[in-house]
Structure 1
Amino acid sequence: MSAPRDPDPLAVAVGNASLLGVGYLLLGRRALFWTAAAVTAALLWLTYEAAGTWCELLVVLWWAAVVAHGWWLARRHPSAGPGRGQRVLALALTVPVLAAAGWVRFDAYGIEDAVAEARADGSCREAVDAQEEVGLRHRLLAAPVAARGDTVVDACERLDTAAGYLSGGLSGDLDMLEAAFARLGAVLREPGNERTVGATLQRYLGRLPTDDGCRDLRVADWLRDRGTGPGELTGPASAASARIGPGALVECGDALMGDEEWSGARENYQRLLAEYPGDARADDARTGIRKAGLAIELDRVRALVEAADGMDSGYCRSPAKYSAAPAYRKGKSGAVFVGDTEYTGKLPESWRADTPDAALVVCADEAEAGDVVETCRYRDHNGRIGSVRFNKLAVRVKVYALRTGRLVRDRTVQMSGESCPGILRYFDSMPSRMAVSPSKADVRDAFAPVVGR
């Protein structure tokens, strides 16, 4: 384009208002045209990269400068004057450019409003979907507006990371739960993220309770004990703990009962009564405490019975109760026989019972010499005559009521038996004293009064 014979200052100014350097072309100043184009491109790229309001301010100042500069140059031209054709050309180029720029900025603000509305509703997904409408044109002509949407998307991406940690934390990994809350707190400290953070937290807390009561209990305890942080986090955490805590205590207690971890189960039931006394599951907890207590008693009794191999060991030394044991009924109650069982092992099976069903625990000591039955004379290997006294077998017996663990009898029973056999069998020299040889009937007769038979 050659230089116009009569440059129109208004046309030149309008042409430069397009930031395309059209006014300089109307003046025939090609060097200025390329310089202006380069500066405009550089400013737009700077705005794209920095996305700062100050960058847009630079563009506005540059726009005003090239408009004023074009007007000034045209006014200095000797033949400057109005030119209808120049004005039409300048307007034909500038108006579409400014209209397009205005529309792009208007669209960018519309997207920003959609992102802000989605964030206010707590929906990161809708906010991200809205921000995806931002294109290169928005980042060139409305970079700060687009950048504000990018900030929301960045916060949502960090919330997605926190959500992953929350998912792992709700599976029982408390370290991941701690990491999740740390990330939620970091996003929450940035203004405007309260709803999205709250929605993320509530979405995952809403997955509680799970099908694992003990895992839920660990999570509920962690949420309850969380004493620091913004109220937007501690409030929902405390509420979730209160919501799932009672059920988790009972379910975990039941699971521990199934695994025969009686002490842990009883502790959970007791916690329910202490922390949630008005809960509808309080009666179930009381039943669980009773069952767990009985199981603990039974385990202890069984261990003591198994360890009782004499009067100074096991149950015989440290008697314990089993509260669910049957009450003693004369002639019908079974007993557990421990200690020295050389002779109690010969008692009838009908007198015996397993630990849970027995009413008595009978501790028997080693047999000793009892009363003299009779004295008999025998000739030894050397033909000498000697006397041998035959004694009953004396056994000290302690009887405990299994239901209470209390001693109910402590006596020495004496067993009769065969004495003065026709042939006396011995080693070395003839003994002066020997025990009788009791039959099963003799043993039964001796122990019957002790065990109520």
Structure 2
Amino acid sequence: MTHPPYDGPEYSESESPGPDWPPAPPREPREPREPREPDPLAVAVGNASLLGAGYLIMGRRGLFWGAAVVTVPLVWLVAAKAETWCELVLLLWWAVVVAHGWRLARRHPAAGPRRGQRVLALALALPVLVTAGWLRFDAHGIEDAVEEAREDGDCVAVVAAQERVGFGHRLAAAPVAARGDTVVEACERLDAAAGYLSGGLTGDLDMLKTGFGRLGTVLGEPGNERTVEATLKHFLGQLPTEDGCRTVRIADWLRDRESGPEDLSDPSSATAARIAPEALMECGDTLMTDEEWANARDRYRRLLDEHPADERAEAAREGVRKAGLAIELDNVQDLVTAADDMNTGYCRKPAKYSQAPAYRKGTNRALFVGDSEYTDKLPDGWHATDAAEAALVVCVDSAGMGNTVETCQYRDHDERIRSITFHQVEVRVKAYALRTGKLVTDRKLQISGSSCPYFISYYGSPPSRRSVTPTDADVRDAFGPVVKR
């Protein structure tokens, strides 16, 4: 089979046609794009959105990005600083961008009304402006709610109102939102102060001082008077505490604390005066139960001195009396316990117990102190078991030899005759009327007894003198004039 002759261009084997063969005709160069014919009003409205929409309408993308480079930092500055001057700078930039877009569009030779551009500009700018306006309006409404709650002294409502502030409010009305944040921050500091005040209710006066210091700091800032007042009122409303002595310490601190703002000092002093009488009485009673007699008497006396017209005054006077008696009794018991001889304890420093039984005619029960060799032989009815039951305190010295009774002859171990003289037992006693602490008896008792026994025992040389051997009856007879009047 043969091919017809080829009339096309000749080419060699190395120049065989490829996939792009034959070559495409060359493209004609594009003509430069004409700038869009702008509507100055549309451009100005588009730029009023702060989105640079006006520049895009004009087809000026470079200006669009350049405006964004300024707008974004300014918006961030307004949100971060939340100060009025930042908003003024942003507003000035907004006016510049709007005016610049208007002027730039007016200079275009084909400038004129364009309905489509205006619709687009409004579609972009109107939502932004309406949203910004609504957010500012709502931010002011929230601010009013925060202020109203602060005027009511209600920090809980303050926080609840400020929680409605969102990111949009902080962009469109940053200073307004920041003012609410300041109020919330003050409430948080008041909450911390309330925590310290609550700690002060345990009797920790350092925490109480810190709490009042923080209240004073917040009160020094304008507009916080009501919230501070509410915090202080809540604290004072928890007084008195369940512990009277703790309440006394708190009341004393409130009364005597360093001077501060009148808004804090006046209600604190009034509360201290209100709770002090009852607290002093309760504290005195508690200390009496704990046998802290002196401290109890001090609380009762303070009640009488500081609040003489209080309804508890009569009970306080009785408390003073009972505490005084308890102090006297404690003192007497300590002195009696310390009396080992005529020169120690009660015998050296006698004291009174005003509630003791009177030293009267008949047998008076006594506390016998000192040497007990013979007093142990006295009848139980003469002994008082406690200082509260005794009419007398009898100090007894060591026994010695008294009056001569008789002399007897004895034969010693060497069969020599010895004479031994027997003497009554002599005991010096001092008796004090416990009710007055006064000396009522100071004498040397002569105790009789048996003498000249058939046998005597001794060590070493036989004695020349010996005491008689008294019976219980002899001892009773000797001490009888001391306890009987």
Instruction: Indicate whether the TM-score tops 0.5.
Output: yes
Q: Distance in 1 between matches of 2:34 and 2:372?
A: 130
| Inter-CA distance 65–370: structure 2 relative to 1 (3 Å threshold) | same
Question: Of the candidates 91, 97, 108, which is equivalent to residue 60 of structure 1?
Answer: 91
Alpha-carbon distance, 1:386 to partner: 2.9
Q: Deviations over 1:131-153 (max 9, x none)?
A: 00000000011000000011111
Mapped contact 2:159–2:184 kept (Cα < 8 A):
yes
Aligned residues: 452
Q: Distance in 2 between matches of 1:216 and 1:374?
A: 76
Give the secondary structure class of the aligned counterpart of 1:377: strand
Bigger drift between 16-25 and 116-125 goes to 16-25
Q: Distance in 1 between matches of 2:369 and 2:157?
A: 76
Length-normalised TM-score, structure 2: 0.90
Q: Which residue of 2 aligns with 1:407?
A: 439
Alpha-carbon distance, 1:448 to partner: 0.6
The code of the aligned residue for 2:480 comes to: A
Q: Distance in 1 between matches of 2:457 and 2:404?
A: 19
| Inter-CA distance 3–447: structure 2 relative to 1 (3 Å threshold) | farther
Mapped contact 2:37–2:58 kept (Cα < 8 A):
no
The code of the aligned residue for 2:401 comes to: A
Alpha-carbon distance, 1:270 to partner: 1.0
Q: Which residue of 2 aligns with 1:50?
A: 81
Alpha-carbon distance, 1:333 to partner: 2.6
Q: Which residue of 1 aligns with 2:216?
A: 185
| Inter-CA distance 250–3: structure 2 relative to 1 (3 Å threshold) | farther
Alpha-carbon distance, 1:5 to partner: 5.4
Alpha-carbon distance, 1:120 to partner: 0.9
Mapped contact 1:227–1:234 kept (Cα < 8 A):
no
Question: Of the candidates 312, 317, 327, which is equivalent to residue 281 of structure 1?
Answer: 312
Does residue 247 of structure 2 align to residue 216 of structure 1? yes
Give the secondary structure class of the aligned counterpart of 2:452: coil
Q: Deviations over 1:339-372 (max 9, x none)?
A: 1111111101011112111111111111121111
Q: Which residue of 2 aligns with 1:380?
A: 412
Give the secondary structure class of the aligned counterpart of 1:192: coil
Does residue 104 of structure 2 align to residue 73 of structure 1? yes
Alpha-carbon distance, 1:408 to partner: 0.9
The code of the aligned residue for 1:207 comes to: Q
Does residue 421 of structure 2 align to residue 389 of structure 1? yes
Q: Distance in 2 between matches of 1:226 and 1:375?
A: 84
Q: Which residue of 2 aligns with 1:445?
A: 477
Q: Distance in 2 between matches of 1:57 and 1:3?
A: 37
Question: Of the candidates 377, 392, 395, which is equivalent to residue 363 of structure 1?
Answer: 395
Bigger drift between 194-203 and 90-99 goes to 90-99
Alpha-carbon distance, 1:432 to partner: 2.0
Q: Distance in 1 between matches of 2:34 and 2:137?
A: 37
Q: Which residue of 2 aligns with 1:249?
A: 280
Q: Which residue of 2 aligns with 1:267?
A: 298
Q: Distance in 2 between matches of 1:61 and 1:345?
A: 111
Q: Distance in 2 between matches of 1:428 and 1:15?
A: 138
Q: Deviations over 1:228-270 (max 9, x none)?
A: 2211222222122112222221111111111111111111111
Identify unmatched segments of 5+ residues in structure 1: none
Mapped contact 1:118–1:124 kept (Cα < 8 A):
yes
Give the secondary structure class of the aligned counterpart of 1:171: coil
Question: Of the candidates 449, 452, 455, which is equivalent to residue 420 of structure 1?
Answer: 452
The code of the aligned residue for 1:387 comes to: S
Q: Distance in 2 between matches of 1:164 and 1:3?
A: 72
Q: Distance in 2 between matches of 1:13 and 1:4?
A: 17
Does residue 71 of structure 2 align to residue 33 of structure 1? no
Does residue 207 of structure 2 align to residue 171 of structure 1? no
Q: Deviations over 1:364-397 (max 9, x none)?
A: 1111211111122222222322322211111111
Q: Which residue of 1 aligns with 2:45?
A: 14
Question: Of the candidates 143, 150, 153, which is equivalent to residue 184 of structure 2?
Answer: 153
Mapped contact 2:36–2:58 kept (Cα < 8 A):
no
Mapped contact 1:3–1:27 kept (Cα < 8 A):
no
Q: Distance in 2 between matches of 1:163 and 1:395?
A: 73
Identify unmatched segments of 5+ residues in structure 2: 1-32
Length-normalised TM-score, structure 1: 0.96
Question: Of the candidates 459, 466, 472, which is equivalent to residue 434 of structure 1?
Answer: 466
Give the secondary structure class of the aligned counterpart of 1:300: helix
Alpha-carbon distance, 1:83 to partner: 3.0
Q: Distance in 2 between matches of 1:5 and 1:42?
A: 29
Bigger drift between 74-83 and 149-158 goes to 74-83
Q: Distance in 2 between matches of 1:177 and 1:380?
A: 89
Q: Distance in 2 between matches of 1:446 and 1:141?
A: 110
The code of the aligned residue for 2:442 comes to: D
Alpha-carbon distance, 1:4 to partner: 7.3
Q: Distance in 1 between matches of 2:287 and 2:393?
A: 30
Bigger Rg, structure 1 or 2: 2
Give the secondary structure class of the aligned counterpart of 2:440: strand
Q: Which residue of 1 aligns with 2:14?
A: none
Mapped contact 2:145–2:161 kept (Cα < 8 A):
yes
Give the secondary structure class of the aligned counterpart of 1:210: coil
Q: Which residue of 1 aligns with 2:331?
A: 300
Question: Of the candidates 140, 148, 159, which is equivalent to residue 117 of structure 1?
Answer: 148
Give the secondary structure class of the aligned counterpart of 1:191: coil
The code of the aligned residue for 2:104 comes to: L
Does residue 130 of structure 2 align to residue 99 of structure 1? yes
Q: Distance in 2 between matches of 1:55 and 1:430?
A: 122
